Chain A
Amino acid sequence: AQTVTQSQPEMSVQEAETVTLSCTYDTSESDYYLFWYKQPPSRQMILVIRQEAYKQQNATENRFSVNFQKAAKSFSLKISDSQLGDAAMYFCAYMDTGRRALTFGSGTRLQVQP
Chain B
Amino acid sequence: DTAVSQTPKYLVTQMGNDKSIKCEQNLGHDTMYWYKQDSKKFLKIMFSYNNKELIINETVPNRFSPKSPDKAHLNLHINSLELGDSAVYFCASSQILGQAGSGRGTTDTQYFGPGTRLTVL
Which residues of A does B touch, CB under 8 Å?
31, 33, 35, 37, 39, 42-47, 50, 89, 91, 95, 97-104, 106-107
A102 to B41 Cα, complex, angstroms: 15
**B106 x A100 contact (CB < 8 A):** no
Cβ–Cβ < 8 Å partners of B105 in chain A: 97
User: How far is the CB of A55 from the nearest CB of chain B, in Å?
Assistant: 12
User: How far is the CB of A8 from the nearest CB of chain B, in Å?
Assistant: 14
Which residues of B does A touch, CB under 8 Å?
31, 33, 35, 40-45, 48, 55-56, 88, 90, 92, 94, 96, 100-101, 103-107, 109-112, 114-115, 117
User: How far is the CB of B5 from the nearest CB of chain A, in Å?
Assistant: 12
Cβ–Cβ < 8 Å partners of A35 in chain B: 109
Residue from the list A37, A43, A107 in contact with B88, Cβ < 8 A: A43
Cβ–Cβ < 8 Å partners of B117 in chain A: 43
User: How far is the CB of A32 from the nearest CB of chain B, in Å?
Assistant: 9
Residue from the list A50, A97, A100, A104 in contact with B43, Cβ < 8 A: A104
Q: List 15 A-B contacts (CB under 8 A).
A: A33-B107, A37-B112, A43-B114, A43-B117, A91-B43, A95-B110, A97-B106, A100-B48, A100-B55, A100-B96, A100-B100, A101-B56, A102-B35, A102-B45, A103-B45
Residue from the list B42, B104, B106 in contact with A104, Cβ < 8 A: B42
Given A37-B112, A45-B112, A102-B110; 10 other pairs, CB 8 A cutoff: A39-B41, A42-B114, A43-B114, A44-B115, A46-B112, A89-B41, A95-B107, A98-B103, A99-B56, A106-B40
